[in-house]
């Protein structure tokens, strides 16, 4: 498992709790969120239904750790599976955190 940046909201997510990389988009129903199709999404941004109509675990933040929003496109998953700031190479992504979202369920 590794950390990645959600390509829709920019937050830091873990592959064990959000989407695995390269999860086939055709597995899901993207109705209403067509702009997210094919992106690597966090648990909160992920589609709420599979293509057959059964609910996914996505659509809400998992709550296993704080949701940290980061500047979009500035981070990548590095060799050891941590989130790395592309410009500086630091893994201290929390120092780049944007506004914090309160947990309203
Ligand atoms: Zn997201």
pLDDT tens across the length of the chain (105 residues):
899 999 999 999 999 999 998 899 999 999 999 999 999 999 999 999 999 999 999 999 999 999 999 999 999 999 999 999 999 999 999 999 997 655 554
Which distant-in-sequence residues (6+ apart) come within 8 Å of 85 by Cβ? Answer: 74, 75, 91, 92, 93, 96
Return the pLDDT at 99: 73
Q: What tokens appear for 58 in the block?
A: 């996505």
Cα(17)–Cα(12) distance, integer angstroms:
11
Between the CA of 3 and the centroid of ligand 1 the distance, in Å, is 13
Question: 79: CA distance to ligand 1 center in Å?
Answer: 22
Range of the domain at 14: 1-105
Is the entire prediction scored with pTM above 0.75? Answer: yes
CA of 103 to the centre of ligand 1 (A): 14
> How many domains is the chain built from?
1
What pLDDT is stored for residue 101 in this prediction? 55
């Amino acid at each position: 498992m590794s950390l990645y940046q959600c390509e829709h909201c920019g937050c830091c997510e873990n592959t064990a709790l959000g989407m695995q990389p390269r999860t086939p988009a055709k597995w899901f129903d993207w109705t209403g969120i067509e702009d997210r199709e094919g992106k690597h999404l966090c648990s909160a941004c992920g589609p709420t239904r599979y293509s057959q109509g059964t609910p996914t675990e996505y659509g809400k933040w998992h709550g296993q750790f704080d949701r940290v929003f980061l500047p979009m496109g500035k981070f990548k998953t590095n060799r050891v599976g941590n989130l790395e700031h592309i410009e500086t190479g630091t893994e201290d992504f929390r120092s780049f955190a944007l506004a914090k979202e309160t947990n309203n369920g």
